[in-house]
Homo-oligomer: A and B are copies of this chain.
Amino acid sequence: MTTPRRILALAEGRFSPLKSKTANAALRYLPEEVVAIVDSTKAGQTAAQVLGYGGGVPVVSTVSDGMIFRPTDLLIGIAPPGGLLPDAWRDDIRFALGHGLHILSGLHTILSDDPEFSALARTHSVTITDYRKIPPEAEVIPVGSWKSRRAKVILTVGTDSNIGKMTVSLELQREFVRRGLNADFVATGQTGMLLRGRGIAVDSIISDYISGCIEREIDRSVAEGYEYIFVEGQGALTQLAYAGVTLGLLHGSMPDALILCHQPTRTVDNYGSPLITLTDAIRLHTEVLRHFRIAPVVAIGLNSIGLTDAALADAVHSAEAETGLPAADALRSGAGRLADAVLNALAPSSAHAPLHQETH
């Protein structure tokens, strides 16, 4: 395609700072591509009025209303409550396909497997991209390519899920690129895949293949010459439903360094367990990879949503005092401090520094 992509993002009834994650990430990281948001409950406002960022991108009532912005793609920018495709969305998707829009979807429901949608897509010569559809070639087991890998791999982990791992990985990759370094972002979830244009939705793959498919994605970036590869983390080792995914990512990436993501205001995780402390989380992640390599946690990525500047400063101080590692909210304070920590840890002269961490 030579036509630049123009995204109409469906976020009906959910467009807000916390409930429309994929649409919001598109506004933040693909600002030149998003032309309008669909949410009848917020129609007439701008993205910035609703989110605090996203500029003047308009919110419209219906997909039909959004057509005046000449979109090329309809992005399903939210997840339906309960996981089933609502009938109203079927109408939107049917309308979009009928008007020549491509579909970008992170739904668990695979839209391209729907006979009506796939027929419409064929008729109108458009594509349906299902980020959660796993290609058969991704179902592989790892070969251990990390042992001879020269590129450096940095994985984000966290004290919980939905805590900012994708954002920290993206902000660090962008900061590295700003510094003239050859850095890539490996997407492991549907939002990251939308932003990067490729990746693998690890929460949709049979567990046997998680480590293999992520090794394969990293190897692809290595083969393209990237020297620093930021892998988007998922879940948490202490999170009951997603820990297997997290461990598969740790094994598949065999990272050179970890960034531990944390939200200071969170005390209970998304599954109702008390949040693990930073100290315990560092020990746990180090322990889990110890049989293979020392993969040090080199910095703390803070998610300070809802905190005042003064409270953020306190949180930074507290995290640094507890762990002895640099801490920062990359969105509010920039990724510079975290990037310095990564480069410092990966520098040849500090090859043994990580071992000090075991004394925590």
Question: What residues of B have a CB within 8 angstroms of the CB of A247 in the complex?
Answer: 237, 243-244, 247
Q: Can you list, as one digit per residue, whether each of A228-254 has a CB less than 8 Å from chain B (1) or not (0)? A: 000000000110111111011001100
Chain B nearest CB, measured from A82 CB (Å): 13
Q: Is A141 close to B, CB under 8 A?
A: yes
Query: Is the beta-carbon distance between B238 and A211 smaller than 8 angstroms?
Result: no
Known: A144-B272, A206-B204, A206-B206. A243 touches B291 (CB 8 A): no
User: Complex: how many Å from CA A248 to CA B292?
Assistant: 20
Task: Confirm or deny: A203 has a beta carbon within 8 angstroms of a beta carbon on chain B.
Answer: yes
Q: Is the interface of A mostly helix, strand, loop or mixed?
A: helix
A273–B143 CA distance with the chains assembled, in angstroms: 11
Closest to A245 in B: B207
**Does the CB pair A208–B287 fall under 8 Å?**
no
When distances are taken between beta carbons in the complex, the residues of chain B under 8 Å from A292 are: 238, 273
**Total A residues in contact with B, Cβ cutoff 8 Å:** 38
Q: A337 in the interface, Cβ–Cβ < 8 Å?
A: no
- One of A50-58, A92-100, A276-284, A294-302 contacting the partner: A276-284
State A283–B202 Cα separation when bound (angstroms). Answer: 28
Report yes or no: B244 in contact with A142, Cβ–Cβ below 8 A. no
**Cβ of A207 and Cβ of B244 under 8 Å apart?**
yes
* In the bound complex, CA of A276 to CA of B247 (Å): 17
A245, A273, A284 pick with most chain B CB within 10 angstroms: A245
Q: Quick check: A208 and B203 within 8 Å, CB to CB?
A: yes
Residue of A203, A280, A291 with most partner-chain B CB within 10 A: A291
Could you tell me which residues of chain A, from 148 to 201, have a CB within 8 Å of some CB in chain B? none
Q: What is the chain B residue whose CB lies nearest that of A244? A: B244
Note all chain B residues with C-beta closer than 8 A to A288: 237, 284, 287-288
Most chain B C-beta atoms within 10 Å of own C-beta, residue among A142, A144, A209, A247:
A247
Residue A71, interface by CB 8 Å: no
- Return A246 CB to nearest CB of chain B, in Å: 8
Other A-B contacts than A244-B245, A273-B291, 13 sampled, CB-CB below 8 A, are A141-B271, A144-B240, A205-B207, A207-B207, A207-B210, A208-B242, A211-B241, A212-B240, A244-B248, A247-B247, A280-B291, A284-B288, A287-B288
Binding site for B on A (CB under 8 A): 141-142, 144, 202-212, 237-238, 240-245, 247-248, 251-252, 271-273, 276, 280, 283-284, 287-288, 290-292
